[in-house]
Amino acid sequence: MISEDLQSFEAALRRRSDRADEAIAEVLSIDVKEVRHAAASVTRILQRLAGAIVDATDDPSSVNDFLRELDLKLISRDHDWRGIFAEIAGKGEDYEPHKRVLIVKYLQYLSTRKRLLAHVLAHRTALEDTDEQADHAQEADMGRRSGKPEGALDAASLRVQAPEYFERLQMGESVQLDLPRGRTIDLLLARHVYRLSGSDESQLIAPDGTAHPLNEGRTMIGRHPECDIVTDRNFHDISRVHVIIEWNREPRVKVTDLSTLGTFVPGNAISE
């Protein structure tokens, strides 16, 4: 399975990551509480894998330790994901690019599965007016007042819309954006419009107009208080670590999405 050729390996994993919705019939048949439990489990491993990608931005070799220490029971047996993780964990440093690709593709697989679970939960609770559904509605109302708990399911995750000229970034994969001096690029974090401004001191401009300077090197953006740019606490659809922007005082930036609800950029801003 683990070809020395990185492109072949990535193509094989892509076929697996595209199959996350095959279990919809099975998921539709299980109890609502089990759906919520499954979603919480997916969220936890998504956070760990996203953290590994963040660490690998600074130190590519960190993926070796991450995979050696990873409890393989957290990895799904579907489509032999667990077997692939087990096999590659024992590979040496020559396989660092393969290991990062594996983490990215499994991130994408889990992200699709999480959206599927949100869809199923919305479908199930719409069909039945039960005490459990009422409890869920009460929880949702409390979440709106006090801040949605991390990992909560939200049917709105299926309805993030962006203008046609925007492209959703693939989770965990980096793209280069042209950002010459004097140019501004819209950057959608879920539904929220931020702007990248190119200059000698490039900035990320928040929806309220606040300008945040980009670090030279890596800038981490999200709701987590340890992010370099912490988003509005009321933007619950922005992930704890939503996106990474890398800038080295050149007329371009590298953007890596790590979110559930997506990062969107204008297609004409992506470098060829």
List the chain domain ranges.
Answer: 6-158, 166-269
Task: Tell me if 142 sits within 8 A of 184, measured CB to CB.
Answer: no
pTM for this entry:
0.76
| Each residue's pLDDT tens digit, 74-130 | 999 988 999 999 999 989 889 999 999 999 999 989 988 888 887 777 776 766 544
Three-state DSSP state, 239: coil
| Each residue's pLDDT tens digit, 33-90 | 888 888 888 888 998 999 999 898 889 899 999 999 999 999 999 889 999 999 999 8
CATH number of 166-269: 2.60.200
